[in-house]
Amino acid sequence: MSRRQQTSVSASQFDSADWKKEKKRILYQRKFRDTLKSTVAVLVVVAALAILAATLWLPVLRIYGNSMTPTLHEGNIVATVKTTEFEPGDVVAFYYNNKLLVKRVIAGPGDWVDIADDGTVYVNGRELEEPYLEEKALGETNIEYPYQVPEDRWFVMGDHRSVSLDSRTKAIGAIAEEQIVGKLVWRLWPFDAAGAL
């Protein structure tokens, strides 16, 4: 075999090996790019669904103030569920004057509420059991008792009765269903106190 033929064979072998490496590199890059695109697309869809769910079905709220102590403290982060069905004892978030307030449902539409001077609450003539309270207090009130809750409205009070502004005042009064953002169901933060409400 002549020297020229040897050089030609070596060059073609070298070209073939380089071509295979280059082809492999290009295929790898294409596969990597496709995987990256699909991963980003999936993450965007998941993030959009999470935001949609958090906005429409499961809003997450941060607690400000101390009107719900000892149940909730300032800085707690809670998850709420959108619903229109509430029972006495449920903790709800609602809009009042462009603010979001958190209080406990005491009585529903048509119920009669009475509060004694020592802060004992009666609903429809029966004393309300309130194990979530540290102390009873009449608090700030300027409504006449016994008070009948209007239709489609809810009577709410904070757990820290001496400082809470709630349905006991004419300013807030019984809240309408349209004002309610949802029922608080889970404390997310702090982690050591996380759990159902």
Q: Which residues are catalytic?
A: 67, 103
Q: In the structure, how many helices (H) and strands (E) does the chain have?
A: 1, 12
Q: What gap in Å lies between CA 58 and CA 186, rounded to an integer?
A: 10
159 neighbors 67 (Cβ within 8 angstroms): yes
Tell me the C-alpha to C-alpha distance, in Å, between residue 171 and each of 1, 175, 177: 106, 11, 17
**Cα angle vertex 188, ends 39, 81, to 5°?**
85
Distance between CA atoms of residues 179 and 75, nearest Å: 23
Residue 146: C-alpha distances to residues 7, 96, 121, 139, 178 (Å)? 108, 24, 10, 16, 25
